[in-house]
Chains A and B, each alone.
Chain A
């Protein structure tokens, strides 16, 4: 305050002009001048200091703003992956799978009586502790037109198989879809679902005998989804028919064809359903299997001819208000019917009664139905019933009296059945532990009581929630 008064006095003196100044002595003027100079210096210092502080404050504020901007930028760029040569790496996931099996019958003697052996994984696997197939999945967008996927199965015997490896058209218009490569055929419902995503530790008997456990062909698929609110999908596949029910052949063009139609929708908010019909046609060349003939000798027989399979499938899923987190129920069933006609060669290696060939005609069927109920979060229980009908098999060699039915024990008329009960617990979205009991009457006159304890875990990229 004192300084301000002085300043005011000095200013007043300065403004007052020379008239009044003359009234004061030189000494007084000098003193006043000195005081003003002091005040000026003092204020300059203070202003400098203030300016300095202002600058600092501005700098800090600027930094804060910059930080805020970069934080926001970081936040919004976090979903995009960092740049660099890794940035385009495909999504990778790995499925680890192990099982402890307890089987009352020797798995080496396993047989599904009444239906031709497929050469696929029809048996229940080995006894004891086993590593099941480990799946390694790579997938990524290739360019704006294609997406690629490879699913390799690392088998416990240290071999690697390409389970699926395909390219897929993306961004096709008008509901069209396109796939090429090796992929699980759209025949029935469960064939397209990988083992780790299934509700039981093993495949239905019908899948085992009609599709060789699971049919993956090398070929192409074209599908079309109708522009309707109800789901309507039509599709066609052509493939080389490399595995059961077909066989690998040295042939140009396609060796197998599959047509499928699907219909699906919702019933209210709680229920979703899908129905499907598919028809697979292929021809087999020297499709061989081993059997013990009437002399007790192991012989190799082979089939040549056409195989036609019809599959009718249905799935119904229910969850209260469509919220499957707490409880849900899934009902699933498939009916298979197969007609084969051609000829059967007995004892191709002439190991027993000599190589002979005559006609073969069969009409066989099978079905399964299963229900899985999640009664509380993470816990599920399921039941499955399997049944196969050996139907009619007409063997020219037997009809003509050349050989007897006892020379073809695998084809003895028998209707295999199996009852399966399953419990599973999923500690998280990425892990599952399963206990399964089955009473398997696949082999004539024998009941195999099976217990499986299984783990299925997935790591890496998040899997798809397929219907």
Chain B
């Protein structure tokens, strides 16, 4: 037991010294982004003043991530955590925060930002019951596919960056202003490009395209998942094939992180074209940043009409 006490004392000593080891004076702001869209947005606003770590990629389903060791290590040293919220990360983010020992990024601190609560959310369930699938009490969390939401989040994110990294306040301010201007122009361009798509019926894989639908006026006429979070099953797909004969969709959409099998199955039987959407930054070669994400999304949707 004596040896144990000595070891504990040693551990405490090391821990007390750790902040000195951790933070060189010229360091960039360390940002932990739960999803690539928020990582990309932070990069747009922070430029070379921030060092962004994306916890997930476009090929991963943000609902089903485990609190793996590498993520604990990254949250531990983060100055700012940017997540979606609305329970999207409910399975893993609380574990990471609890294990990180990082007071700066706990909910309520300046270093913790959730995007979804900043924008009006769709599909807030009136009834909370898991018989309806894996629903989110706070509403559909996949808010980033409406560029107007990105702009709203950008303003709050800018304020947080300015608050946490006060010496670079002016930098974030001017960079965000420039970004928002380019973003507004791009949004207008995308809206013009998308005009012919208005009213187009689509089948989605998961309910992760609702904000895109609302923005562009697409109509969701079916989903490959029988209920949110429940994988496509043969009986449901057969039912969907029948419904497509009555009310055919123009396109079947799935995201980069979804398997194409179910979409392909429905397409083979209904002759409705299948389109893979990048869903977030990194989901396709062209979706290198947020501009590329929407450019590519619209190009893929418009291709349905050609």
Within 8 A of A (CB), among B22-71: 22, 56-57, 59-61, 64-70
Given A79-B116, A224-B14, A377-B231, A171 contacting B103 (CB threshold 8 A): yes
Q: Does A264 contact B (CB under 8 A)?
A: yes
List of B residues within 8 angstroms of A174 by Cβ: 15-16, 18-19, 101
Given A175-B101, A176-B101, A459-B130, CB of A325 within 8 Å of CB of B61 = yes
Find A321's partner among B59, B87, B121 (CB 8 Å cutoff). B59
Q: B246 within 8 Å of A by Cβ? A: no
Interface flag for A466 (CB, 8 Å):
yes
Distance in Å: Cβ of B263 to nearest Cβ of chain A: 14
Whether A225 contacts B124 in the complex (CB less than 8 A), given A236-B11, A326-B259, A464-B67, comes out as no
Other-chain contact of B103, A74, A172, A229, A266 (Cβ < 8 Å): A172
Contacts A75-B139, A78-B139, A79-B138 given; does A323 touch B257 at CB 8 Å: yes
Cα distance A265–B69 in the bound complex, in angstroms = 6
Contact of A147 among B22, B76, B98, B118 (CB under 8 A): B98
When C-beta atoms are compared, the residue in chain A nearest to B114 turns out to be A79
By the criterion CB–CB under 8 Å, are A225 and B73 in contact? yes
B67 and A72 form a contact (CB under 8 A): no
Contact between A467 and B139 (Cβ–Cβ < 8 Å)? Answer: no
| 0/1 string, B80-111, CB within 8 A of A gives 1 | 00000111001110110111111110101100
Task: Report the separation of the CA atoms of residues A171 and B112 in the bound assembly, to the nearest whole angstrom.
Answer: 12
B248 at the interface (CB under 8 A from A): no
Query: Shortest beta-carbon distance, B268 to chain A, in Å?
Result: 19
How long is the Cα–Cα vector from A173 to B102 in the complex, in angstroms?
Answer: 5
B230 within 8 A of A: yes
Chain A residues whose CB sits within 8 angstroms of the CB of B64 once the complex forms = 324-325, 429, 465
- Which chain B residues border A265 with CB–CB below 8 Å? 69-70, 73
Asked if B66 and A467 make an inter-chain contact with CB atoms under 8 angstroms apart, the answer reads yes
**A residues in contact with B94, CB < 8 Å:** 464
Give Cα A224 to B73, complex, Å. 11
Contacts of A251-309 to chain B: CB distance below 8 A: 254, 257, 259, 262-266, 269, 272-274, 281
- Knowing A224-B11, A459-B130, the reply to whether A231 touches B103 (Cβ < 8 A) is no
Best-surrounded residue of B98, B101, B108 (most CB of chain A within 10 A): B101
Q: Which residues of A from 365 to 420 have beta carbons under 8 Å from B? A: 377-378
A326 surroundings in chain B (CB, below 8 A): 259
Of B1, B4, B121, B134, the residue contacting A429 (CB under 8 A) is: B134
Closest chain B residue to A254, Cβ basis: B1
Distance between Cα atoms of A467 and B90 in the complex (Å): 14
User: Is A445 in the interface zone, CB < 8 Å from B?
Assistant: no
Does B217 reach chain A (CB closer than 8 Å)? no
Which of B12, B73, B121 touches A231 (beta carbons < 8 Å)?
A: B73
B59: A residues at CB distance < 8 A: 269, 321-323
Say whether, besides A222-B11, A225-B99, A281-B1, A462 and B70 are in contact (CB < 8 Å): no
Q: Is B7 an interface residue, CB under 8 A from the partner?
A: yes
B4: chain A residues within 8 A (beta carbon): 236, 238, 257, 259, 281
CB neighbours of A18 from chain B (8 A): none
- Measured CB to CB, the closest approach of chain B to A64, in angstroms, equals 16
Whether B11 and A225, one on each chain, are in contact in the complex, defined by CB atoms closer than 8 angstroms, is: no
Q: List residues of A (218-248) whose CB comes within 8 Å of B's CBs.
A: 222-236, 238
B258 nearest CB neighbor, chain A only: A325
Whether B273 sits at the interface, judged by CB under 8 Å, is no
Whether A264 pairs with B139 at a CB distance below 8 angstroms is no
Query: How far apart are B140's CB and chain A's nearest CB, in angstroms?
Result: 11
- Quote the shortest CB–CB distance from A240 to chain B (angstroms): 13
The residues of B that contact A462 with a CB separation of less than 8 Å are 87, 90-91
Report if B72 contacts A (CB, 8 A).
yes
Closest chain B residue, CB of each to CB of A460 = B130
Contact with B along A133-172 (1 / 0, CB 8 A): 0000000000010010000000000000000000010111
Please give me the residue from chain B that is nearest to A172 by CB atom: B101
CB 8 Å contact bits of A76-116 with B (1 = contact, 0 = none): 10110000000000000000000000000000000000000
User: In the complex, which residue of chain A has the Cβ closest to the Cβ of B231?
Assistant: A377
A194 to chain B, nearest CB (A): 13
CB-based contact B18/A175 at 8 Å: yes
Residue of A nearest to B230 (CB): A428
- The smallest C-beta distance from B127 to any residue of chain A, in angstroms, reads 13
Return the contact of B95 from the options A170, A232, A378, A464 (Cβ within 8 A).
A464
Q: Please give, as numbers and ranges, the residues of chain A lying within 8 Å of B65 by CB-CB distance.
A: 465
Given A222-B8, A325-B61, A467-B68 contact (CB < 8 Å): yes
- Give the distance to chain A from B186, nearest Cβ to Cβ, in Å: 25
Name which residue of chain B comes closest to A320, CB basis: B59
Task: For B86, list chain A residues within 8 Å (CB).
Answer: 79
Can you offer 12 A-B residue contacts whose CB atoms are under 8 A?
A76-B121, A144-B108, A224-B11, A227-B77, A229-B74, A257-B1, A269-B57, A273-B69, A323-B60, A428-B229, A465-B91, A465-B95
Closest 8 CB pairs of A and B: A264-B69, A79-B138, A231-B69, A227-B22, A465-B91, A175-B101, A231-B73, A321-B59
